[in-house]
Chain A
Amino acid sequence: MNATIDGDAVEPQDGGRRIHFLDDRLWLGRLMLAPAIVYIVALVGFPFVLAIIYSLSNVTVGSEGFHFVGLANFRQLVNSPQFWVAVKNTIFFTVVSQIAVIVLANILAMALLKDFPGKWLVRLLILLPWVAPISLGSIAWLWMLDPIYSIFNWVLRAVGWLGPNGRYIWLGQPDLAMASIIVVDVWRLLPLATVIILAGLSSIPKDLLEAAAIDGAGVVRRTFEIAMPLLLPIMLVAVLFGVVFTVTDLIVVFVLTRGGPFNSTQVLASWAYFTGIDSGDLATGAAISLFLFPVLVAIAVVLLRIAKRTELT
């Protein structure tokens, strides 16, 4: 405000040459966009370009030189059985957790749409996993899934499912370990999906569901023939977020299983980290992390296209 007043006061003396640049819409727009652009270029664009360069080289943590090796790293990956295990795990982990997230988020959102006493508390509890840092949440899960102290084993023993000394090694058996990381991922992504779907549900005109009720449709028909199709575009957005977060995230796997046992929970993101950072092979790590990029872009394009096609105006 002061600047504008100063500018106005100075202007006549300068013969109108000094126009305050904050008054210029073009410059003001550029100025407002600058932080976002700097942020994206510095924290997303630069590492991304660096990853592409690394993936085409033989650079390691300790190397001083840089040699361009072409697509050798990718060729080596495709020929490695461990890579395919990680690809398979990533797909399984993502698909199963996203199906669970969407089903549960729909149920939760529909429940939260209704008024009931203590609704704010339920909303708060549901949002909590999203608000809490992922690493903290994962560490809490690590304890809950601990072979000795696991609260789940304790409960299962208390209800008589397990014998007095029986226990599940949640993170130590391949199938249970995969199930465990899926459960934690679902727990973590459910709040976002629920909020997105809740927003979608509240935007469906009440008239439509009432008209369907009068037209003779029961709850099931109203849900699957009216509400769900109208919700589809926004549900796809939730799925897109979920897929991207799940595929690119390594924290859950890193904290809970470190990819084990026997690589049964190794996903591309965690394997890229272990190879690139822990083992110091930056080039291969970069190649692994880049591998899913075209796949994710394709998924995003397809989902957004479907969302656009089904959008209703």
Chain B
Amino acid sequence: MSTVETRALTKVFSEVPAVNGIDLMAQEGEFLVLVGPSGCGKTTLMRMIAGLEEPTSGKILIGQRDVTALPPRTRNIAMVFQSYALYPHLSVYRNIAFPLRARGADRRTIAEKVRWAAGMFGIERLLARKPRQLSGGERQRVALARAVVRQPLAFLLDEPLSNLDAKLRTLARDELKQFQRRIGTTTIYVTHDQIEAMGLGDRIAVLSEGRVRQIGTPREIYSDPADTFVATFMGSPPMNLTESDGVLLGFRPESLMPKSAAIAFSAVTIPMRITRIEYLGADCLIYGVLQPPFPEGPAIVRTGAGGPPPCAPGDLYEFSVEEPDLKRFDRGTGLRCNSPRGERERHHRR
């Protein structure tokens, strides 16, 4: 168990910065998720921490030790690849044993530890099989067992759930989180899936264009986004944005409620022309176009599916949002202007 830290870490690929001066600190035992769209630099950042990519500048510290110039094998970290990267010619047993053999462990220790790691993921009965004889979920468990077996200082996980089908993914997410809690090893997890990020992370770092836009707990990121990028990237459907009084006004689809239901005095009325209603089982999405005093633009409302939607397509309907749920962003920079946290993040990034 150990901290993982990057200091002003930069990677430039043929004059294009993929990672641009990132300062990041994963605390001991923390589950830190790096989330962002494709090409935001999250995988490059992880590969630099693993030692697979050489930084252009900056430092990487694992357990306070500067490992920037060290090869991957001396960093004592484990990585699970998106493809799982199981050695196809080796049995599951020998796959899991590989890191131990590479470190020169004796036969008895290897046997003990492989059984322990396999037991942790319930794959003892698969030990004699070859990777090609395993299902996607089983391969993922083998990859995790191989990562865990030598008790590394930190885990790096590169979208390990993206090859699983939707149903299995939810289950695997839960198992992954429980497993990390149990062994308490510092974990850095890369994903482009914001639901995975919200569900797994103790803290989330939202990346875009090689920079960290915001670091915080899932709750902070969701309800206190530092800028319009974070506001619209996290959450599905994304935060609605419109202009009002010279600022960008943001509100989550679920914070809109029928005006008649609003009780707070400080609520803002949002008139909308309803265009479509989507019934999704657990909830209901109402698509519409904002009406004056707001500039015309699309907006989405999420309501519980308990009762019928309060309106029908074609209706002009008034929703309202309570003041605490309104986020204001600078029109030019996209940064938050009404949150002390926003201020802090902005300062931090500088």
Chain A positions within 8 Å of B, measured between CB atoms, are 205, 207-208, 210-218, 221, 225-226, 229-230, 310, 312-313
Contact = CB atoms under 8 A, between A and B. Distances in A.
Interface string B147-173: 000100000000000000000000000
B78 interface: yes
Contacts of B50: 210, 214
A218 B85 contact: no
A312 B90 CA distance: 11
Contacts of B51: 213-214
A218 B50 CA distance: 15
B99 interface: yes
B51 to A, nearest CB: 7
B206 to A, nearest CB: 26
Given A213-B52, A214-B79, A215-B73, A310 B89 contact: yes
Contacts, number: 62
A215 B132 CA distance: 21
Interface string B35-52: 000000000000000111
A214 B73 contact: yes
B52 A210 contact: yes
Given A215-B98, A218-B102, 7 more contacts: A205-B85, A210-B81, A211-B79, A216-B73, A216-B99, A216-B102, A230-B88
A2 to B, nearest CB: 49
A10 to B, nearest CB: 55
A215 B83 CA distance: 16
B182 interface: no
Nearest to B73: A216
Which secondary structure dominates where chain A touches chain B?
helix
B88 A207 contact: no
Contacts of B98: 212, 215, 217, 225
18 contacts: A205-B85, A207-B81, A208-B85, A208-B87, A210-B50, A210-B52, A210-B79, A213-B71, A214-B51, A214-B52, A214-B78, A215-B98, A215-B99, A216-B103, A217-B98, A226-B87, A312-B88, A312-B89
Contacts of B79: 210-211, 214
Nearest to A310: B89
Contact of A212 (B77, B83, B87): B87
B72 interface: yes
A231 to B, nearest CB: 10
A179 B301 CA distance: 83
A234 to B, nearest CB: 13
A216 B97 CA distance: 12
Interface in B89-142: 89, 98-99, 102-103, 132
B146 to A, nearest CB: 7
Which of B71, B83, B88 counts the most A-chain CB atoms under 10 A from its CB? Answer: B88
Which 10 A-B pairs give the minimum distances between C-beta atoms?
Answer: A216-B102, A211-B85, A207-B85, A215-B99, A312-B88, A216-B73, A217-B102, A229-B89, A213-B72, A214-B72
Nearest to A312: B88
B85 A217 contact: no
A214 B87 CA distance: 13
Contacts of A217: 73, 98, 102
B48 to A, nearest CB: 13
A313 B132 contact: yes
Contacts of A226: 87
Interface residues of B, number: 23
Nearest to A210: B52
A199 to B, nearest CB: 18
A214 B158 CA distance: 14
A210 to B, nearest CB: 5
B297 to A, nearest CB: 44
Given A216-B73, A217-B102, A230 B83 contact: no
A210 B71 CA distance: 11
A149 B52 CA distance: 52
B73 A213 contact: yes
A211 B81 contact: yes
Interface in B44-77: 50-52, 71-73, 75, 77
Contacts of B88: 208, 230, 312
Given A214-B50, A216-B103, A221-B102, A205 B83 contact: yes
A224 to B, nearest CB: 12
A227 B79 CA distance: 19
A226 B89 CA distance: 8
A212 B52 CA distance: 11
Contact of B85 (A210, A225, A229): A210
Contacts of A218: 73, 102
Contacts of A207: 81, 83, 85
Given A211-B79, A216-B99, A229-B89, A312 B132 contact: yes
A146 B24 CA distance: 69
Nearest to B158: A207
A312 B133 CA distance: 11
A216 B101 CA distance: 9
B86 to A, nearest CB: 8
A34 to B, nearest CB: 39
A208 B79 CA distance: 11
B223 to A, nearest CB: 37
A159 B51 CA distance: 46
A249 to B, nearest CB: 34
A229 B87 CA distance: 10
Nearest to B132: A313
A218 B71 CA distance: 10
Contacts of A210: 50, 52, 72, 79, 81, 85
